[in-house]
Copies of this chain bind each other. A is one copy, B any other.
Amino acid sequence: MPTIPHIETHFRSSASVRDVVIGMADGLTVPFALAAGLSAVAASRVIVVAGLAEIAAGSIAMGLGGFLAARSDAEHYTSERQREEREIVERPNDERHEVLEILESYGLTRDQSAPILAAFEAKPKVWVDWMMRFELGLEEPDPRRALRSAMTIAGAYVAGGLIPLASYMLMSNALTALMYSVAATIVALAIFGYVKGRFTGAHPLRSSFQTTVIGGVAAAAAYLIAKLFS
């Protein structure tokens, strides 16, 4: 596989940022919202237990889920690549036609495409690389990505989830703890949204606002549901 270093770096770093964002967005929001919801009906002690159980469950589910998603991306790439390698041998005319079609969609005439096709036929591996990327839109996944992705997502979830829970650990009155939890989490969500915006190229203040609103809406919904069903 030919490597184009600056492209791979671009993909890799955005994948890690995405993992932190995935884990922390849910870690800051779901345990916060669950604790807020339970504040309507339970004591701090129960909320801390429920919150820690949720953090354990959520971080493991998301981390393992990320691990398997990354691994299945890798398997998908391998199986599609094997299919493409077979097709170039077994149905070369169909594959040639696909190359011409793709190049035509980018404005090349048959005459202009002919040397490219000739280059591909001389180097089947390059041809397969090209079809993977151009016909199927698939990048070769980094093999170490699965484990790193899992640890990043789970760690970010735990880090995020402990922030809203801290006040319940320190205060026995759930409604008092809720006020501190809301304050701490709003600050954390706003900072997280701002930093996320900086990394992903979105407008930081708008990102900060959006992240805080998600947390607030989820917490309000959880609170209402808990009130309704208790």
Contact residues of A with B, CB < 8 Å? 2-4, 7, 10-11, 22, 25-26, 29-30, 32-34, 37-38, 41-42, 45-46, 48-50, 52-58, 60-62, 64-65, 68, 72, 75-76, 79, 101-102, 105-109, 111-112, 115-116, 118-120, 122-123, 126, 129-130, 133-137, 139, 200-202, 207, 210, 214-215, 217-219, 221-226, 229-230
Q: Please pick, from B26, B48, B61, the residue contacting A229 in the complex, using a CB distance under 8 A.
A: B48
In the complex the two chains form, is A54's CB within 8 Å of B116's CB? no
Query: Which secondary structure dominates where chain A touches chain B?
Result: helix
In the complex the two chains form, is A123's CB within 8 Å of B105's CB? no
Contacts A106-B2, A106-B126, A221-B60 known; A53 to B25 CB distance under 8 Å? no
In the complex the two chains form, is B57's CB within 8 Å of A49's CB? no
Which residues of chain B are near A223, meaning CB under 8 Å? 53
Most buried by B among A120, A218, A221, A225: A218
Contacts A112-B116, A119-B107, A214-B65 known; A46 to B42 CB distance under 8 Å? yes
Most buried by B among A56, A60, A108, A200: A56
